[in-house]
Amino acid sequence: MEKAYTIDQQIAQLKSNGMMFDDEEKAKEILLDVGYYRLGFYSFPYEIKFPCLEHRDHKLKLGTTFKSVYDLYEFDTRLRRLLLNALDRIEVNIRTKFIYNISLRYIDDPCWFVNRKYVTSNFVNAFEEQVYAAMRKNPIIQHHHANHPGIYAPAWKTIEFMTIGNIITLYDSLKETDAKDLVANAYGCSRGVFYNYMETIRVLRNKCAHGGCIYRMDFPRGIKRLPADISADCRHNIKGGIDVVRYILGCISQTRKTELENEIHNLVCSIQTDEAKKVVAQTSKLEY
């Protein structure tokens, strides 16, 4: 059974794996801040057996420094923060366009999202238990029900508090293709591509929000190449995900898109060690 290491044992273990240190005291400070296990996610690309992670022995390539591993961690952390800011802006915009377009299309029914005429029965059947039950605890929704009759709050209140996953499911559950087109066309997409891009955004957003390691994250389903102009070799990696974010941001505001591109460019340029720069270029495909 594995046992916890003291900070000195952690340093010793890293040394035995081939890691080099410029300042061991600083390294101890970082390990006590970030954590030995978490920092290990950023040593993967420096391991001799990478990218094969089966039967790992954690042995590092000759010349691997603690600084280069921490450099990669810092890059990943700062990239995650940049993307969270952009993803928040995108989520708000998608939510707004969805509420606006579909609520006006079904203007006679403020609760169109549970109307079987417009939405599939599977979504309606699961809505109360899987979506609205938790929402009923929201003070704003409680205030609505205290002042207005009806089982549910109208779409512009209810959908405002749905998760991005709920919204994607609701979009997919719309019966009328013309209704789906109203939202998808606002972003220059067909229905299938828009759904694919929303799923990409959902996966990326959840990974970022939970502090996940994103520099080498994978999108198993693959990202649609157009209209976001995704390179063939980036349909499954973080570069492809970022290109979707850039594309959707551009549909919202060219200024915001340019700001993100400049921020990522500056971030890549700020990487201090050549080893980390090489990892980012090879693994993340980011070379802004």
CB-CB contact of 214 with 158 (8 Å):
no
pLDDT at position 267: 95
CA angle (238, 240, 243) in 5-degree steps: 110
In a domain, 286, yes or no: no
> Do 44 and 134 sit in the same domain of this protein?
no
In a domain, 1, yes or no: no
In a domain, 159, yes or no: yes
Q: Could you write out the three-class secondary structure of 109-174? A: CCCHHHCCCCECHHHHHHHHHHHHHHHCCCHHHHHHHHHCCCCCCCHHHHHHHCCHHHHHHHHHHE
pLDDT at position 53: 67
> Do 160 and 58 sit in the same domain of this protein?
no
pLDDT value at 9 more than 90:
yes
> Do 53 and 99 sit in the same domain of this protein?
no
Assigned token pair, 147? 């002042």
Among 64, 94, 111, the domain boundary falls at 64
* % the chain with pLDDT above 90: 90
> Do 170 and 197 sit in the same domain of this protein?
yes
Nearest-angstrom CA–CA distance, 238 and 234? 7
- Report the mean per-residue pLDDT for the chain: 94
Task: Determine the structural domain holding residue 16 and report its residue range.
Answer: 7-64
pLDDT value at 228 more than 90:
yes
pLDDT at position 146: 95
pLDDT at position 234: 94
**pLDDT, average across residues 106-120:** 98
pLDDT at position 145: 95
pLDDT at position 149: 86
pLDDT value at 52 more than 80:
no
Question: What's the domain count of the chain?
Answer: 2
Assigned token pair, 205? 């957003």
> Do 21 and 123 sit in the same domain of this protein?
no
Nearest-angstrom CA–CA distance, 46 and 70? 12
Separate counts of helices (H) and strands (E) for the chain: 14, 0
> Do 248 and 148 sit in the same domain of this protein?
yes
In a domain, 256, yes or no: yes
Confidence of residue 287 (pLDDT cuts 50, 70, 90): low
What's the pTM value of the predicted model, to 2 decimals? 0.92
pLDDT value at 225 more than 90:
yes
> Do 124 and 254 sit in the same domain of this protein?
yes
> Do 157 and 23 sit in the same domain of this protein?
no
> Do 37 and 128 sit in the same domain of this protein?
no
> Do 228 and 147 sit in the same domain of this protein?
yes
In a domain, 12, yes or no: yes
pLDDT value at 288 more than 60:
no
In a domain, 36, yes or no: yes
In a domain, 98, yes or no: yes
Residues paired with residue 65 on neighbouring β-strands, in sequence order: 20
In a domain, 276, yes or no: no
Confidence of residue 147 (pLDDT cuts 50, 70, 90): very high
> Do 115 and 82 sit in the same domain of this protein?
yes
> Do 129 and 207 sit in the same domain of this protein?
yes
